[in-house]
Every structure is written in structure tokens, then in C-alpha cells.
Amino acid sequence: MMKRDEMLKVLARHRKDEIVVAVYMAAQELTHIAPNDLNYTFTGAMGQGSSHALGLALGRPDKRVVVLDGDGSLLMNLGSLVTIANAAPKNYVHCVCENGSYETNGAVPIPRAGKICFADMAKAAGYPKTHEISSLEEWDRQLPAILKEEGPVFVDLKVEPGELYPEDFRRLYSIEYRDKFRSALKNS
């Protein structure tokens, strides 16, 4: 099991010019740990991160898009696995931060917490490459290759809460930051 903030720090260290779409706890922490104009947190409704990311990946096939989805979020938009596999964007890396919990909404466990194989679901939906990563060392070692793999790639990241960071939902869904993102993407 990885501390989520430590996992994000490793991602920040390996990140070059990728778009990172993040939801809920990962999004809150990403804005503190790795501020970047190519962070996209403007997902607006639960479960929708992977779908926003698909639009970005199809619209900018020259840019790699990394999604930091949640396990509860993915369960809410499970059909997106089939949609993404069918659209088959080569530049799409779908990471699920599996904490087994609706952490933002009171830390209630997800249904069948710890007993679902998200990587198998992704494989069955048609993702050609899937990974399950539970240690920071393994994440650090595998991430450079994952970022170069032909997508869509699915990565189940086994995480738990780490250090606490201030929550700011207004920042996550800010139109001002979304417009900054559009501008940064246009120029990148």
C-alpha cells in the first residue's frame, strides 16, 4: 500500500509535459504537491474524470493524458471502461487510486472494498495493458515505461491516505483555472 501523497510526488518527479486529470482526494493533493497549468480538475460531477480525459486525449492525440481516477468514481462510471477501450486512444493512461473508500464523502467503504479486481475489469473491457501497483518502489520503477506504453493503459494503484492537505473545491472546479488550462494546452 502506498501513501497517496507519496505516490503523487513520484508522478510529479517523472512527469514531463503530460496532462493530468485528477478527481477528489488526488485532485486536492495534486494542486498542492505538483501545481501545473496542465492539471485538469474541472470534472464537475462524480465519476466523470475518465470521460473528460477521453475528450482531451481524442482532441490532443499528440499529448499524453494521465487520469487519477478514484475507485468509487470508477464504479459510478463503469461503462467508461468500455467506451475508452472502444475509442482506443493510444495516449491515455487510466490510473485508479484504489483506497476502498468514498474518502471525500465520509470515508465510507465502497461496495466489495478490497475484493474487486479493477485491472481484470479493465482487461475484460478491452484495455490492452493493465498493471496493479502496491508499493512506492514499484511505482517509481515502472512509471517511466508506463508513460511510454501504447494506450489505453490501466493502472490500479493501491493507496491509503498520507499527509493531510487543505481541501479547496472552489479551486478544483474554478473556471479561471480551467481557462488557464485551455490556454496552456493550446500553447503546448
Give residues in contact with another protein (CB under 8 A): 40, 42-45, 47-48, 51-60, 77, 79-80, 82-83, 86-87, 173, 175, 178, 181-182, 185-186
Among residues 86 and 135, whose Cβ is nearest to another protein? 86
Residue with cell 487520469: 67
Among residues 7 and 73, whose Cβ is nearest to another protein? 73
DSSP label at residue 110: P
- Give me the least distance between CB of 134 and another protein, in Å please: 29
- Give me the least distance between CB of 136 and another protein, in Å please: 30
Assigned C-alpha cell, 51: 470521460
- Give me the least distance between CB of 86 and another protein, in Å please: 6
Burial class (CB in 10 A: 0-12, 13-18, 19+), 6: middle
Among residues 58 and 136, whose Cβ is nearest to another protein? 58
- Give me the least distance between CB of 158 and another protein, in Å please: 26
Among residues 92 and 139, whose Cβ is nearest to another protein? 92
Among residues 160 and 167, whose Cβ is nearest to another protein? 167
- Give me the least distance between CB of 42 and another protein, in Å please: 6
Listed residue (162, 160, 127, 120) closest to 146, CA to CA: 127
Q: What is the length of the chain?
A: 188
Among residues 7 and 54, whose Cβ is nearest to another protein? 54
Taking the C-alpha atoms of residue 135 and residue 177, their distance in angstroms, rounded to an integer, is 32
- Give me the least distance between CB of 2 and another protein, in Å please: 27
